[in-house]
Amino acid sequence: MENKEEISNDEKLENNELQIKQQEIDELTDRYKRILAEFENHKKRSQKEREGLYNSILGDIVEVILPILDNLENASKVETSDENYKKGVELVLKQFQDVLKSKGVEEIKAIGETFDPELHEAVSSIQDDSKGEKEIVQEYRKGYKIGTKVVRHSMVVVAN
């Protein structure tokens, strides 16, 4: 009898130890899953912050050089008898625009569009029955954006 009792007690002890070990494994597994989820969230958050910082820095740089682009556009429109000079200015302008485009900088469409205060800055308005309400009829200065972030608003004249 004692042998059976000892075996039974030993089995109970082993089962109890197994349950304790299984509980520890479950707790460690749960902790591992939580830490992994936190790490994944941290990676996503860090990536988002890096992209935001990149776009912010790029926006600051682009904002500073946009007046140069404006001057190049104005220079390309000037009439000159030196065609090679004109072609050179146009090539530099095209190269400048291509570089900005490759970095995600887009021109904001204005003329013919409906005025949007998020994208456009109205500097004047006119009455013209042939135009739609809040239709942009003239653009004084081009606007640019990177993704959804406006770097510089378009300066426009709005009808009606």
Entry field: residues in the chain = 160
H runs (alpha helix) in the chain:
2-77, 83-102
Query: Is the distance from CB of 115 to CB of 78 less than 8 angstroms?
Result: no
Query: Which residues does 153 contact at the CB level (< 8 Å), separation at least 6?
Result: 108, 119, 120, 121, 143
Q: Is pLDDT above 70 for 4?
A: no
For 108-151, write each residue's pLDDT tens digit: 999 999 999 999 999 999 998 888 899 999 999 999 999 889 99
134: left (phi over 0), alpha (psi -120 to 50) or beta: left
According to the model, what pLDDT value does residue 65 have? 96
Query: Which residues does 39 contact at the CB level (< 8 Å), separation at least 6?
Result: none
Query: Is the distance from CB of 98 to CB of 120 less than 8 angstroms?
Result: no
Q: Is pLDDT above 60 for 35?
A: yes
- DSSP state, residue 113: S
Q: Can you list the domains of the chain with their CATH numbers?
A: 106-160 (2.30.22.10)
According to the model, what pLDDT value does residue 129 have? 86
pLDDT band at 6 (very low <50, low <70, confident <90, very high): low
For 45-71, write each residue's pLDDT tens digit: 999 999 889 888 999 999 999 999 999
Whether this prediction's pTM lies above 0.85 is answered by no
For 68-90, write each residue's pLDDT tens digit: 999 999 999 999 999 999 999 99
For 9-25, write each residue's pLDDT tens digit: 778 888 899 999 999 99
